Chain A
Amino acid sequence: MNQSLLRVESLAKSYHGVPAVRGVSFTLERGEILALIGPNGAGKSTCFNMLNGQIRPNAGTILFEGQDVTASSPRSMWRRGVGRTFQITATFTSMTVRENLQTALLSHAGQLSRPFGKANRAFEVEADALLDRVGLRGQADRSCGELAYGDLKRLELAVALTNSPSLLLMDEPTAGMAPKERADLMRATAAIARERNVGILFTEHDMDIVFEHADRVMVLNRGELIAMGAPDVVRQDRQVRAIYLGEGLVHGDLAAAQVRH
């Protein structure tokens, strides 16, 4: 049978009575790269947090591989095969880069309750393979607390891949990176999606990235989806343009993207 990897229906969330996300519905297929864009405060992170179980929606359902996971915990989402990165990086700052991955790999293998044996000898090969993938191999033994921001973002991605996810949620994966780095990272990510047939939902303020890599684009504004479709279609959408024209900075990005295509 042919069910979607992720099917979201009428998802809603409000904070202290103020709606942040209202009736968002969409689907995501295996191997598809879907971008969620929108101005600051549109509700993108809120959507991500609901999808990985970090916050509970007020209404709506989330179906993952056909199963209702609406009120699941982040832990069970991880076990089902969802990996995510955070907008503000969340890493284990007292560990080295490799240890961050080893911890995640141990968790995935269900070995984190083992009270003996050296954790930093576990899954070295797997960890290094992932580091290679995101271009961090050279930094493997550095303390994660002293990494540059861009490297932390890479590490986030590597960690999110440790459970061989079928769905990857990436909240602003390239924020704070240099343009060249951004392109590299997204290319690597896209490759993973194709290779492993992983569905990717990501959000991004850099429109170059969005329009280059996304198969489809959704636009969120004030908690509502106002457009969805192929990049070219969305780009031409008048409502979208109106919103982005109001945002000087992002408008610049959008214009730049248009010039290049």
Chain B
Amino acid sequence: MALYLAQFLTGLAGAASLFLVASGLSIIFGVTRVVNFAHGAFYMVGAYVAYTLTERFEGAIGFWGGIVLSVLVVAALGGLVEILLLRRIYHAPDLFQLLATFGLTLMAEDLVVIIWGPEDLVGPRAPGLKGAVEVLGQAVPSYDLVLIALGPLVLGALWLLFHRTRFGILVRAATQDRDMVAALGVNQKWLFTAVFCLGVGLAALGGALQIPRDAVNHAMDLTVIVEAFVVVVIGGLGSVGGAFLASLLVAELNAFGILVLPGVSLVLVFVVMAVVLVLRPNGLLGRAEAPARGTGQMSSRPWRPLDAKAQFIALVAVAVAALLPLWLGPYGLAVGAEMLIFALFAMSLQFLMSTGGLASFGHAAYFGLGAYGAALAVKSLGWPMIPALGCGVMLGLAGAALFGWFCVRLAGVYFAMLTLAFAQIAWSAAFQWTAVTGGDNGLLGSWPDAWAASPRAFYWLSLAVAVGGIGALRILTFSPFGYGLRAVRDSSLRAEAIGIGRRHTQWVCFIVAGGFAALAGGLFAFLKGSVFPDALGIPTSVDGLVMVLLGGVGTVSGSVLGAVVYKALSVWLISQTDYSKLVLGAAIVGLVVLFPSGIGGFFSAWAGRRRVSTRATAAAPVEAAE
């Protein structure tokens, strides 16, 4: 009994920490619709700054003063980021801000190491709160009690702020209807800045308060960002109360879950999220997302199959790629093959995102299933490469069919997060099912058959598969099925009214995208000769997302460009510097500012403008003659 009480109290303390971070994320998303990937980075920077300040100032005033000061410093930093970066890209397509904040996160991870050094930093304990209190014979840290009190306190303060102040009422109004608030003549710019500062400040507070319990380190951000997102989504986007409930749920389930299943924390939050979303598609306290008006997503230029000139350019590009083995050595060819594989992976995600309108945060699941399927066929069944690739594709298709069936019931960010949950569940299966998958030690020895073992042969194989796959997806995009998909994406109301089933169509799309991702994954297994769980991990999903966003969500296959640029950059940077994340992050931020519609989007817009202007000059004399 006493144990359960102690566990419950510990769970409450954990919930409070989680809530601080999650509430900030929720508020930012609610008002600005920015999926702030950098939230974890702000949490981490909050901890680092608080470490410096609390080490410098002594005593209770020094400690708590240091925490407050660090929150203010980081909130100001957040404001700066909002003004200098995010303001430029609010009107970019959905999720583009995610790309920018992802770039910031990469930069932050290296910057803290440069500034604070590589070692883990253990900050001071809170003065007077070093010990524990006896509760029914169980020791409960007194600092935990402070956290337990702080959770509801912050919730209460936020409630007062949102219900009793003009600012708060505007924030709530903006959460419900952004355009309305803008129409009321409120200065939306500064409202967004203030909200961003508030959210970032909460993240920093969450980080700073970890000082007495944690070691400050440069990987703190990743441990918290995903969990915070999960909590926000379980609670319902934009709902602070929901975030509070969800933090409680997650923290308590974890505290009690480990008593029964000691390894449960690996997947717990994702299982909870999957269950909640399947039962309540808008989270615990969330409301159905109002369909955004006039989604700025699509350019006004309708998609066209490649015209003769573009076809010629594509053909030349493929021919050049096919001739590269004449110049490139084995290393260059391996990198080339990797770029092609990721181009196919990114294209499969783009098909889902751009044509299907379904942004997935867990597309790596199918890439990974393909890789594992292929490697298992080679290792356990002794199959040759081509049938093994087929086995990978089948596994990917099966996974996509199963997960997709649940996912397409949801929309928007909820859909994205359910895909993430399933991907994490698949990841943990790969991670834990040591007998089959080898656990985190992976499956080794999935090398290509002799005929494709030379770097050249494998490169050509990758080229053939990538070009074939990308071509097939383009054909699909312009086929009747692709039009059905776009119909559902543009207006599911109209689509249903002309006999197109939304769920069925999107489900098929999900499966197709999963199949092509699995094909890429299978090739990847042969390229690397081994498969590890990180093939279906979050970073791989994020990479895919970054490639699509970088290429341009509004395009049919800009992701191919995005993949080539991103992969080339990251392989080159990792090879050249230990601060590859800093440079890559800065490059992403730069690209985001320069090409708000993606690189592919930029080029197609440029080509479109040229086409229009040549047509206009050609047409002018005719008009004049009339």
Question: Residues on A close to B: CB < 8 A?
Answer: 52, 54, 73-75, 78-79, 84, 86, 90-96, 99, 102-104, 106-108, 111-120, 122, 143, 145-146, 159, 162-163
CA distance A94 to B475 in the complex (A): 17
Q: When the two chains form their complex, are residues A145 and B298 in contact, meaning their CB atoms are under 8 A apart? A: yes
**Any chain A CB within 8 A of the CB of B189?**
no
Min C-beta distance of A225 to chain B, whole Å: 25
Q: When the two chains form their complex, are residues B480 and A86 in contact, meaning their CB atoms are under 8 A apart? A: no
Known: A92-B487, A94-B303, A95-B302. Contact between A119 and B494, CB under 8 A? no
Min C-beta distance of B430 to chain A, whole Å: 31
Q: When the two chains form their complex, are residues B499 and A102 in contact, meaning their CB atoms are under 8 A apart? A: no
Contact-residue bracket for chain B: 20 to 34
CA distance A103 to B478 in the complex (A): 11
Residues in B with CB closer than 8 Å to A111 are 480
**Any chain A CB within 8 A of the CB of B177?**
no
Q: Which of B479, B497, B498 contacts A114 (CB 8 A)?
A: B479
CA distance A122 to B483 in the complex (A): 11
Residues in B with CB closer than 8 Å to A52 are 497
Residues in A with CB closer than 8 Å to B301 are 143
Max chain A C-beta neighbours (<10 A), residue from B305, B479, B486:
B479
**Any chain A CB within 8 A of the CB of B335?**
no
Residues in A with CB closer than 8 Å to B298 are 93-94, 145
Q: When the two chains form their complex, are residues A112 and B484 in contact, meaning their CB atoms are under 8 A apart? A: yes
Q: When the two chains form their complex, are residues B498 and A115 in contact, meaning their CB atoms are under 8 A apart? A: no
Question: Residues on B close to A: CB < 8 A?
Answer: 298, 300-303, 305, 475-476, 478-484, 486-487, 489-491, 493-501, 508
Known: A116-B475, A143-B300. 8 other contacts (CB 8 A): A75-B499, A86-B497, A93-B298, A94-B302, A103-B498, A108-B498, A108-B499, A119-B480
Min C-beta distance of B474 to chain A, whole Å: 11
Residues in B with CB closer than 8 Å to A90 are 491, 493-494, 497
Q: Which residue of the partner chain A has the closest CB to B303?
A: A94
CA distance A84 to B493 in the complex (A): 11
CA distance A96 to B303 in the complex (A): 9
Q: When the two chains form their complex, are residues B483 and A95 in contact, meaning their CB atoms are under 8 A apart? A: yes
Residues in B with CB closer than 8 Å to A99 are 302, 483
Q: When the two chains form their complex, are residues A113 and B481 in contact, meaning their CB atoms are under 8 A apart? A: yes
Q: When the two chains form their complex, are residues B480 and A112 in contact, meaning their CB atoms are under 8 A apart? A: yes
Q: When the two chains form their complex, are residues A54 and B482 in contact, meaning their CB atoms are under 8 A apart? A: no
CA distance A65 to B486 in the complex (A): 32
Q: Which of A91, A107, A162 contacts B490 (CB 8 A)?
A: A91
Q: When the two chains form their complex, are residues B480 and A122 in contact, meaning their CB atoms are under 8 A apart? A: yes
CA distance A145 to B499 in the complex (A): 22
Residues in A with CB closer than 8 Å to B303 are 94
Min C-beta distance of A85 to chain B, whole Å: 9
Q: Which of A54, A92, A106 contacts B496 (CB 8 A)?
A: A54
Q: When the two chains form their complex, are residues A113 and B480 in contact, meaning their CB atoms are under 8 A apart? A: yes
Known: A115-B479, A118-B479. Contact between A94 and B501, CB under 8 A? no
Residues in B with CB closer than 8 Å to A163 are 498-499
Min C-beta distance of B434 to chain A, whole Å: 39
Q: When the two chains form their complex, are residues A92 and B501 in contact, meaning their CB atoms are under 8 A apart? A: no
CA distance A116 to B481 in the complex (A): 8
Q: When the two chains form their complex, are residues A106 and B480 in contact, meaning their CB atoms are under 8 A apart? A: yes
Q: Which residue of the partner chain B has the closest CB to A120?
A: B478
CA distance A75 to B483 in the complex (A): 17
Residues in B with CB closer than 8 Å to A113 are 480-481, 484, 508
Min C-beta distance of B615 to chain A, whole Å: 12
Q: Which of B482, B486, B490, B498 contacts A104 (CB 8 A)?
A: B498
Max chain A C-beta neighbours (<10 A), residue from B305, B478, B483:
B483
Q: When the two chains form their complex, are residues B497 and A94 in contact, meaning their CB atoms are under 8 A apart? A: no
Residues in A with CB closer than 8 Å to B496 are 54, 73-75
CA distance A90 to B491 in the complex (A): 6
Q: When the two chains form their complex, are residues B479 and A107 in contact, meaning their CB atoms are under 8 A apart? A: no
A-B pairs with beta carbons under 8 Å apart, 13 shown: A90-B494, A91-B490, A92-B487, A96-B302, A99-B483, A102-B483, A106-B484, A113-B481, A116-B476, A117-B480, A118-B479, A120-B483, A162-B498
Residues in A with CB closer than 8 Å to B495 are 92
Q: When the two chains form their complex, are residues B300 and A92 in contact, meaning their CB atoms are under 8 A apart? A: no
Residues in A with CB closer than 8 Å to B497 are 52, 54, 74, 78, 84, 86, 90
CA distance A75 to B305 in the complex (A): 29
Max chain A C-beta neighbours (<10 A), residue from B303, B475, B484, B499:
B499
Min C-beta distance of A89 to chain B, whole Å: 9
CA distance A113 to B482 in the complex (A): 9
Residues in A with CB closer than 8 Å to B489 are 94
Residues in A with CB closer than 8 Å to B493 are 54, 86, 90
Q: Which of A78, A86, A116, A162 contacts B479 (CB 8 A)?
A: A116
Residues in A with CB closer than 8 Å to B500 are 75, 107, 112
Min C-beta distance of B623 to chain A, whole Å: 15
CA distance A115 to B478 in the complex (A): 9
Q: When the two chains form their complex, are residues B490 and A92 in contact, meaning their CB atoms are under 8 A apart? A: yes
Residues in A with CB closer than 8 Å to B482 are 119
Q: Which residue of the partner chain B has the closest CB to A114?
A: B480
Known: A74-B496, A78-B498, A103-B487. Contact between A118 and B478, CB under 8 A? yes
Q: Which residue of the partner chain A has the closest CB to B301?
A: A143
Q: When the two chains form their complex, are residues A78 and B499 in contact, meaning their CB atoms are under 8 A apart? A: yes
CA distance A159 to B478 in the complex (A): 20
Q: When the two chains form their complex, are residues A103 and B499 in contact, meaning their CB atoms are under 8 A apart? A: no
Residues in B with CB closer than 8 Å to A116 are 475-476, 479
CA distance A167 to B491 in the complex (A): 22
Q: Which residue of the partner chain A has the closest CB to B498?
A: A104
Known: A116-B475, A143-B300. Contact between A159 and B498, CB under 8 A? yes
Known: A74-B496, A75-B496, A145-B298. Contact between A92 and B491, CB under 8 A? yes
Q: Which residue of the partner chain B has the closest CB to A94?
A: B298
Q: When the two chains form their complex, are residues B490 and A93 in contact, meaning their CB atoms are under 8 A apart? A: yes
Min C-beta distance of B294 to chain A, whole Å: 8
Max chain A C-beta neighbours (<10 A), residue from B483, B487, B498:
B498
Max chain A C-beta neighbours (<10 A), residue from B481, B484, B494:
B494
Q: When the two chains form their complex, are residues A119 and B479 in contact, meaning their CB atoms are under 8 A apart? A: yes
Residues in B with CB closer than 8 Å to A86 are 493-494, 497
Q: Which of A74, A91, A107, A145 contacts B300 (CB 8 A)?
A: A145
Residues in A with CB closer than 8 Å to B491 are 90-93
Residues in B with CB closer than 8 Å to A115 are 475-476, 479-481
Min C-beta distance of B548 to chain A, whole Å: 17
Min C-beta distance of A196 to chain B, whole Å: 18
Min C-beta distance of A195 to chain B, whole Å: 22
Q: Which residue of the partner chain B has the closest CB to A106?
A: B480
Residues in B with CB closer than 8 Å to A104 are 498
Max chain A C-beta neighbours (<10 A), residue from B305, B480, B495:
B480
Q: Which of B475, B486, B499, B508 contacts A107 (CB 8 A)?
A: B499
Residues in A with CB closer than 8 Å to B478 are 118-120
Q: When the two chains form their complex, are residues B483 and A119 in contact, meaning their CB atoms are under 8 A apart? A: yes
CA distance A75 to B494 in the complex (A): 10
